[in-house]
A and B are shown apart, each in its own frame.
Chain A
């Protein structure tokens, strides 16, 4: 995406006493993109969004909106707005009054306000007669839409989301995730979404930034992060993964540091003595039968089998007790019994080498 930077964070740090919640974060958010910031709880993502929205100011560093410094501009003077985790609808007001609130604050006349509210109700697929309904009478999904409509009525330059879907049940969440992505496409606005759920991030975003302990450890498209994670943390955070610690032996050859993994002729870009982690996703590991071979081969014992709907997951225990996860599509089901000796194989072309300092 070659579009302009709309929001820029430069060396943003936030401390609470001796605790550093955000540690020197630098991040560019492009105009019109859907960026999701993902991280486990305690990674600093809530602090991050509070700074982005203007409910808090950083201890150090600057925030720029379209080139203008807004580091210490309070929330009510920023042209951005947020959909809260709790939605924070006004319980004493109707759906219509909730949606019109930002327009009322701006001093828009009642007729225009109403027309805009009606447009937004339609955009968010809420029936027009909801205009007069009390928000407390709406269901969870409807409230979600009202909160979105209210935020859109504000016509923000950037729309922030603080895990607004986390309280909903699975099916409704899936529906709304897709609607949100569609809404992003329709409105062309910049969406910045914060969540702990990687699944949510993968479904919706153009770009994902992963946070850990107050730092952004990696950012990129879902594919990039999934296939080429920069650290073990990211690799493990992005779903099931098999990791092997490897050591270079010179001339591209390498060995597994702890178990007897047979390595064929294929080579890795790893200098002699260097240590790294070899990552292979479960879907790239195969069960080898007589006569088949792969770049890397390991033997173990079939340990467990889980049906995951369209896929089946196997756990194979290696001689040293470690477990390798293998995933197959339902039609490629491997027929084996628990305790069977099996040989696993995978090719280096499907692997990714993680080097950490």
Chain B
């Protein structure tokens, strides 16, 4: 009986396996293969080599990688600090009002990210909504607030806000109230409870939220292009350029592969340390 059930499981999973293999795995494998082709070729019928990876180091593409990872890290960290109090409120304090917040946050996702970013541009640009009013009221003229690294990080934090907030709220809601009360009863102060009880027990939510935010932010480029005006060039931008203007598929593939490996390793590391079943509400 058990063997039949096992086969049934495999059979039910087969359609999605085929689709995933064709539309998800196959392109990734093609990219991985191109990464080892000589520069500027358009087929895979060449001897593999590491030229593209040499280019990555020789031509300074690693600065772009560092910008991508650094800004993603900054955005993730800022989002964590911003979202934690709100997520705590949603999970433990607000009750039904949490739903209102959820809806309000989700609705922003209905508008395309680029359009929302243009909204920021109009707000922050020289003579835009903010500075235009400032000039009209006080006569002060300030150069635009756009086109620098902090504003890019702000944009990233803005764009990926929901991806931090919801997993965090979910994680915090998993911390039992009585455990927190017990810690308080045993003499722990609020900060001590946060450190000893809340953070460790909400860790699955914190990890999932941070991972989502970091991965998305590390691969983002709209924020750098629109808000940053290419004050810095990020990795995703370099990859796009290599594939399009550069017409250098192998270089683009190599850059993509490097990014995928770094982020993939991070994801595997983070996910191996948390209990995903727990956060999905399933018992082990």
Q: Which residues of A approach B to under 8 Å, CB–CB?
A: 53-55, 74-77, 81-82, 84-86, 88-92, 101-102, 105-106, 150-151, 154
Contacts and interface: CB of A to CB of B under 8 A. Distances in A.
Contact of A101 (B181, B186, B200, B201): B186
Contact of A105 (B179, B181, B186, B200): B186
Given A90-B197, A92-B201, A55 B188 contact: no
Contact of B183 (A53, A101, A106): A101
Interface of B: 176, 178-179, 181-189, 192, 196-197, 200-201
A119 to B, nearest CB: 18
Contacts of A53: 185
A91 B189 contact: no
Contacts of A92: 200-201
A63 to B, nearest CB: 15
A154 B184 CA distance: 12
B184 A74 contact: yes
13 contacts: A53-B185, A54-B185, A75-B185, A82-B185, A84-B178, A84-B182, A86-B178, A89-B179, A89-B182, A90-B183, A90-B197, A92-B200, A105-B192
Contacts of B179: 88-91
Q: Closest 5 interchain pairs by CB?
A: A88-B182, A88-B178, A102-B186, A76-B184, A75-B185
Given A91-B201, A92-B200, A92-B201, A106 B187 contact: yes
Contacts of B178: 84-86, 88
Most interface-central of A75, A85, A150 (chain B CB within 10 A): A75
A128 B201 CA distance: 26
Nearest to A80: B185
Given A88-B176, A90-B179, A105-B192, A76 B197 contact: no
A149 B188 CA distance: 17
A55 B186 contact: no
Please classify the interface of chain B as helix (H, G, I), strand (E, B), loop, or mixed, using the class held by over half of its residues: helix
A86 B201 CA distance: 17
The CB with the most chain B CB atoms within 10 A, among A77, A81, A88, is that of: A88
A69 B18 CA distance: 72
Given A86-B176, A105-B192, A154 B187 contact: yes
A102 B187 CA distance: 7
B59 to A, nearest CB: 47
A106 B200 CA distance: 20
Contacts of A54: 185
Nearest to B187: A105
A76 B200 contact: no
A91 B197 CA distance: 9
Contacts of A150: 186
B104 to A, nearest CB: 30
Contacts of A86: 176, 178
Contacts of B176: 86, 88
Q: Chain A CB within 10 Å — which of B178, B197, B200 has the most? A: B178
Contacts of B192: 105
Nearest to A154: B186
A39 B133 CA distance: 68
B185 A55 contact: yes
B78 to A, nearest CB: 27
Contacts of B197: 90
B201 A75 contact: no
A105 B195 CA distance: 12
Nearest to B184: A76
A101 B180 CA distance: 13
B201 A76 contact: no
Nearest to B200: A92
Contacts of B181: 55, 75, 84, 88
A144 to B, nearest CB: 14
Contacts of A75: 181, 184-185
A77 B186 CA distance: 9
A254 B17 CA distance: 89
B26 to A, nearest CB: 41
A150 B187 CA distance: 12
Nearest to A147: B182
A89 B186 CA distance: 12
Contacts of B196: 90, 101
Contacts of A151: 186
Contacts of B188: 76, 101, 105
Contacts of A154: 186-187
B185 A81 contact: yes
B278 to A, nearest CB: 10
A255 B63 CA distance: 103
Contacts of A81: 185-186
A162 to B, nearest CB: 9
A84 B181 CA distance: 9
B186, B187, B197: which has the most chain A beta carbons within 10 Å?
A: B186
A138 to B, nearest CB: 15
A217 B200 CA distance: 45
Given A55-B181, A90-B197, A92-B200, 5 more contacts: A84-B181, A84-B182, A86-B176, A90-B183, A105-B186
A90 B196 CA distance: 9
A199 to B, nearest CB: 25
Contacts of B186: 76, 81, 101-102, 105, 150-151, 154
A186 B187 CA distance: 24
